């Protein structure tokens, strides 16, 4: 087999065999197939696309390129959840204790963030003492004992995806649905998931800006899950504004605690209930979404979900008293208000701009080496559909280092689109994609 023949075949729009895909990916991992041939192949995929069977082969090949976590020593169906990324998205912090309280084991490996705000692991590190690194055996033991553990990615998971993603980043081949779908799903499969709930974001702050593209990405991921024997469901949710009100690492932990207490923002609460309900159904502890939703609401109302968060924090060495005393989380020294320049109704909030503003304050990483400030961030006081007068506070910035404060404040002003027409609140969930098809809500 020769790489050049495989590239030629793809360039002409023909379907590659599983053996041809294995040859490319294994060759790339071992260094026998060079960057330039994989770059040419990725560009051919970008233009010609991939069939469902090619996408599944690529996913499995990347999943097998490094460590594969065996979660079989944990009893129960292990349901993983993945979000395609959004500003203010702290759903994992809420869902992990919430679904664990309902009896679905959560053995979750999460990442750190690059750009925008931090990842789940950065957020957890704002809890004093919380250990994000556990030995594999300790990780399994904790899930068997208390039903939940959240740790940083350990070992060598999907090295082929890491190498391919870095190459795509510099060859204008990131925005390919089969390449994104296989990249995401290879990591979930290698991390040992039996079933997967995906939160595919759509809108200005998402990878996929249109609903049609988001549905196409969701379908590609659901097909991979189905083809590889993992029940998979995707919820298409809004990213035309940040999720919830608080953005920044310790601020997001605070909002997750509020939500588990039943006092969270409506959009965040509702999305967690929907995603969590699908996790319960796939995890085999509820018959249908309606029963699962009622169960989750009950676990929030009776304090069980909050108790599970305390158990999780204590088990990983953290100070669980932050749950009752969020003032013990790191706080920034100063507050700075950003005010509306004109009155009207908030029509949209460019989530990406808000994310960049948070990063300028120090909440996210500009480069892999940047050190993030866990205490800084943004409190959005006005969301889509809200009426504001000129001079009303749109957002409060939590600041330690004021050197880029003005730049951040300008980004926030520009992120808000305020119009004179009345606006309905933005939809939260647009569609659900399963192996049986697409159910659209708008
Ligand atoms: N996230 C991933 O993990 N992979 C992609 O290709 C795009 C987003």
Distance from the CA of 174 to the center of ligand 1, in angstroms?
8
Tokens of 254: 């605070």
Mutate to test the pocket of ligand 1, among 170, 180, 239 (most ligand atoms within 8 A of CB): 180
Give the 3-state secondary structure of residue 357. Answer: helix
Please tell me the predicted confidence (pLDDT) of residue 117. Answer: 65
Instruction: Determine the distance separating the centroid of ligand 1 and the alpha carbon of 141, expressed in angstroms.
Output: 30
Take atom 8 of ligand 1 and give the residue whose Cα is closest: 180
- In the set 83, 183, 186, 250, the catalytic residue is 183
**What local confidence, expressed as pLDDT, does residue 424 receive?**
79
- Residues sharing a CB contact under 8 Å with residue 351, sequence separation 6 or more, in sequence order: 86, 87, 88, 203, 204, 205, 206, 239, 240, 241, 242, 415
Going by alpha carbons, the residue nearest to atom 3 of ligand 1 is 184
Which 8-state DSSP code applies to residue 395? E
How big is the chain by its Cα radius of gyration, in Å? 22
Judge whether 53 counts as a catalytic residue: no
12 Cβ partners below 8 Å, 6+ apart? Answer: 48
- The residues lining ligand 1, judged by C-beta closer than 6 Å to any ligand atom, are 165, 174, 179-180, 183-184
Residues 6+ apart with CB under 8 A from 163: 28, 29
What tens digit of pLDDT does each residue of 388-442 get? 999 999 999 999 999 999 999 999 999 999 999 887 777 899 999 999 999 999 8
pLDDT of res. 204: 85
User: Annotated catalytic, 295?
Assistant: no
- Atom number of ligand 1 nearest to Cα 174: 6
How many A from CA of 184 to the centre of ligand 1? 5
Residue nearest to atom 7 of ligand 1 (CA): 180
Instruction: Collect contacts of 322-330 with beta carbons under 8 A, ≥24 apart.
Output: 322/127, 322/128, 322/253, 322/257, 323/257, 326/253, 326/254, 326/257, 328/128, 329/126, 329/127, 329/128, 329/250, 329/253, 329/254, 329/375, 330/126, 330/250, 330/374, 330/375
- Ligand 1 centroid distance, CA of 434 (Å): 20
Looking at residue 411, its pLDDT comes to 97
Q: Which atom of ligand 1 is nearest to the CA of 184?
A: 3
Measure the CA–CA gap between 80 and 2, rounded to whole angstroms.
37
**Which residues, 6 or more positions from 279, have their beta carbon under 8 angstroms from its beta carbon?**
79, 81, 95, 99, 104, 197
82 catalytic residue (yes or no): yes
Query: Which of the residues in the chain have pLDDT under 70?
Result: 114-117
The pLDDT, as a whole number, for residue 369 is: 78
Give, using CA atoms, the residue closest to atom 2 of ligand 1: 184
- Residue 88's closest CA among 116, 130, 125, 127? 116
The distance of Cα 213 from the centroid of its chain, to the nearest Å, equals: 18
| pLDDT given for residue 426 in this prediction | 78
- Give the model's pLDDT for residue 114: 63
Distance 295 CA to ligand 1 centre (A): 33
Atom of ligand 1 nearest to the CA of 165: 6
The question of whether 213 is a catalytic residue gets the answer: no
Annotation marks residue 183 as catalytic: yes
State which of 110, 157, 161, 183 you would mutate to test the pocket of ligand 1, scoring each by most atoms of that ligand within 8 A of its C-beta.
183
What pLDDT score was predicted for residue 115? 65
pLDDT at residue number 46: 97
Angle (deg, nearest 10), helices 18-30 and 35-48: 140
Residue (of 249, 254, 405, 386) closest to 335 by Cα position: 405
The number of beta carbons lying within 10 Å of the beta carbon of residue 419 is 12
């Amino acid at each position: 087999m020769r790489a050049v023949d495989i590239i030629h075949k793809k360039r002409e729009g023909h379907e590659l065999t599983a053996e041809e895909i294995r040859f490319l990916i294994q060759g790339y991992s071992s260094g026998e197939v060079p960057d330039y041939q994989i770059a040419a192949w990725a560009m051919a995929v970008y233009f010609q696309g991939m069939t469902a069977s090619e996408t599944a082969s690529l996913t499995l090949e990347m999943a097998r390129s490094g460590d594969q976590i065996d979660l079989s020593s944990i009893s129960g169906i292990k349901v993983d959840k993945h979000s395609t990324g959004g500003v203010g998205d702290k759903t994992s912090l809420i869902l992990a204790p919430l679904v664990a309280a309902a009896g679905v084991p959560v053995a979750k490996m999460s990442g750190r963030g690059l750009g925008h705000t931090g990842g789940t692991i950065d957020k957890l590190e704002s809890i004093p003492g919380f250990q994000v690194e556990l030995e594999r055996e300790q990780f399994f033991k904790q899930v068997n004992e208390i039903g939940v553990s959240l740790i940083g990615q350990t070992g060598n998971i999907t090295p082929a995806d890491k190498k391919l993603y870095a190459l795509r980043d510099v060859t204008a081949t990131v925005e390919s649905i089969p390449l994104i779908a296989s990249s995401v799903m290879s990591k979930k499969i290698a991390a040992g998931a039996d079933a997967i709930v995906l939160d595919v974001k759509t809108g200005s702050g998402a990878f996929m800006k249109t609903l049609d593209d988001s549905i196409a990405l969701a379908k590609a991921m659901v097909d991979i899950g189905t083809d590889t024997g993992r029940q998979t469901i995707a919820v298409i949710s809004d990213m035309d504004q940040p999720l919830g009100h608080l953005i920044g690492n310790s601020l997001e932990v605070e909002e997750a605690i509020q939500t588990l207490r039943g006092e969270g923002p409506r959009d965040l609460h509702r999305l967690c209930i929907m995603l969590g309900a699908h996790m319960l159904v796939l995890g085999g502890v509820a018959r249908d979404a309606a029963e699962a939703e009622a169960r989750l609401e009950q676990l929030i109302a009776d304090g069980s979900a909050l108790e599970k968060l305390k158990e999780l924090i204590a088990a990983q060495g953290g100070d669980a008293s932050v749950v009752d005393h969020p003032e013990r989380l790191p706080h920034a020294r100063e507050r700075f208000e950003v005010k509306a320049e004109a009155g009207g109704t908030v029509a949209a909030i460019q989530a990406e701009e808000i994310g960049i503003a948070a990063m300028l304050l120090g909440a996210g990483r500009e480069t892999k080496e940047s050190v993030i400030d866990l205490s800084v961030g943004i409190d959005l006081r006005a969301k889509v559909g809200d009426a504001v007068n000129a001079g009303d506070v749109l957002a409060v910035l939590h600041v330690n280092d004021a050197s880029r404060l003005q730049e951040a404040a300008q980004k926030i002003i520009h992120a808000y689109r305020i119009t004179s027409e009345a606006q309905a609140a933005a939809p939260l969930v647009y569609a659900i994609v399963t192996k049986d098809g697409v159910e659209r809500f708008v």
